[in-house]
Amino acid sequence: MARYVLRRLLLAVPVLFGVSFGVFVMVHLVPGDTAVVLAGDTASPQQIQEIRHELGLDQPLPVQYARFLERLGHGSLGRSVRTGREVMIEIFDRFPYTLELALAAVVIATVVGVSLGVWAAVNKGGLVDQLTMGFASLGLSIPTFWIASLMIIVFSLTLRWLPVTGAGSWKHLVLPAAALSLQSAAIKVRITRSSMLEVLGQDYLRTARAKGLRERTVIVRHALKNALIPIITLIGLQFGGLLGGAFIIETIFGWPGLGQLAVQSIFVRDFPVIQGTVLLVAVAYFASNLVVDVLYAWLDPRIRYS
């Protein structure tokens, strides 16, 4: 296992290098000039050129990228063009908010999705199964930004139960986490139901029932545990996706996380912050998948990594 983890960590180096190169190229292909945005419409060409020189934007792209890698090798992502602060500080000030939102969405999606999926599988073909699969289809069909806007209208503007924007209490977290978790929960319902249906037909469950175990014990301790492997895989994949998907939700709800920071940085073409944000999301995505792979062996002793 230790050798497998080490190999995966070594493989992360070229992956992150490729991510950094791709992001660097793409942000420089976006139309517009950072120096013009910072200088304003009334700035003279000389002032714009001075800003461009100060930021190193007058250098060839290979030179700019080499300097970025050099800073990265020293543990720095450079300074924000917009605020002048270290990018690391900017990111780590915002990352806890995004992590909190993503974790809350994962918990909601897992609890709702797995519970409904198990319920639907146990009641296959019944009304509960049909209603649950209808919810799953609806959750996959509704765009995240639309459900977020609908939640604001209903729970904030009409019922006045929850605040619209900001952070600071659990009430601020409810709407963005619920909106972010909807599609993830819908997918988990389908995967859990399918996985449970496979397991429920196995011989060892009939043996467990024959021994006189309660149905609840058979479902939870025997069936669900063996059906968890594809669900754990999905959780790991979705966690990285939720970190990226949180950008839209954070913008809608004014949540002060990485998403809001990234959107603000895109508007002023703050290259260092954009690159740093994407790199952090890529690292988090890789780490979540590595944790999932390690959990495989814990859930199923038959799985071994050589």
DSSP string for 177-230: HHHHHHHHHHHHHHHHHHHHHHHHTSHHHHHHHHTT--HHHIIIIIIIHHHHHH
**Quick one: what percent of the chain has pLDDT higher than 70?**
93
94-299 domain in CATH 3.20.20.60? no
Q: What residue spans in the chain does CATH classification 1.10.3720.10 cover? A: 94-299
pLDDT at residue 73 in the model:
79
Residue scoring higher pLDDT (294 or 304): 294
As a whole number, the mean pLDDT across the chain is: 82
CA-based Rg of the chain, rounded to a whole angstrom? Answer: 24
pLDDT at residue 196 in the model:
85
* Residue 305 in this model has a pLDDT that exceeds 60: no
* 149 Cβ neighbours under 8 A, 6+ residues apart: 252
pTM attached to this predicted model:
0.79
pLDDT at residue 151 in the model:
92
CA distance 214 to 220: 10
pLDDT at residue 71 in the model:
82
Residue-wise pLDDT tens digits, 91-127: 888 888 988 998 999 999 999 998 898 888 888 888 8
pLDDT category of residue 298 using cuts at 50, 70 and 90: low
pLDDT, mean of residues 190-217: 79
Residue-wise pLDDT tens digits, 156-183: 999 989 998 888 788 999 999 999 999 8
Which DSSP letter does residue 77 get?
-
